A and B are shown apart, each in its own frame.
Chain A
Amino acid sequence: MLQINEIEVYYGAIHALKKMSFEVEQGNIVTLIGANGAGKTTTLKTISGLLRPKNGSIIFNNQDITKTAPEKIVDLGISQVPEGRRVFSTMSVMENLEMGAYLRRDKKGIADDIENVFTRFPRLKERQKQMAGTLSGGEQQMLAIGRALMARPTLMLMDEPSMGLAPLLVKEIFSIIKEINERGTTILLVEQNAHMALSIAHQAYVIETGEIVLSGTAQELLNSDEVKKAYLGG
Chain B
Amino acid sequence: MDAVLSQYIDPYFLRIILIIGINIILALGLNLITGVTGQLSMGHAGFMSLGAYTSAILTMNYGVAFPTALLGGSLVAALFGFFIGLPTLRLQGDYLAMVTIGFAEIIRVFFLNFEPGGKAVGLSGIPQETTFLTVWGLVAVAVFLNARLLSSRTGRAFYAIREDEIAAESCGVNTTRLKVTAFVLGSFLGGLGGGLYAHYMFYIDPQVFNFTKSIELLNMVVLGGMGSIPGTILGAVLLTILPELLRVVAEYRLMFYGALLVILMIFRPNGLLGDVRIYDLKKRWGLGKNK
Contact = CB atoms under 8 A, between A and B. Distances in A.
- For the residues of B in contact with A, the DSSP-based class is helix
A91 B170 contact: no
A74 B170 CA distance: 7
Interface in A173-221: none
B153 A102 contact: yes
A118 interface: no
B166 A102 contact: no
Contacts, number: 65
A70 B156 contact: no
A74 B275 CA distance: 29
Interface string B192-233: 000000000000000000000000000000000000000000
Contacts of A89: 163-164
Contacts of B275: 90
A88 B166 contact: no
B172 A88 contact: no
A4 interface: no
B157 A88 contact: no
Interface string B149-171: 00001001101100110111111
A102 B172 contact: yes
Contacts of B167: 82, 86-88
Contacts of A48: 170
A79 interface: yes
25 contacts: A50-B169, A69-B174, A70-B170, A71-B172, A74-B171, A74-B172, A79-B170, A86-B166, A87-B164, A87-B167, A88-B164, A90-B159, A90-B275, A91-B159, A95-B159, A99-B156, A99-B157, A99-B160, A102-B153, A102-B157, A102-B171, A102-B172, A102-B173, A147-B171, A151-B171
Interface of B: 153, 156-157, 159-160, 163-164, 166-174, 275, 291
Top 8 nearest A-B pairs (CB, nearest first) are A74-B172, A88-B163, A86-B167, A103-B172, A71-B172, A80-B170, A102-B171, A86-B164
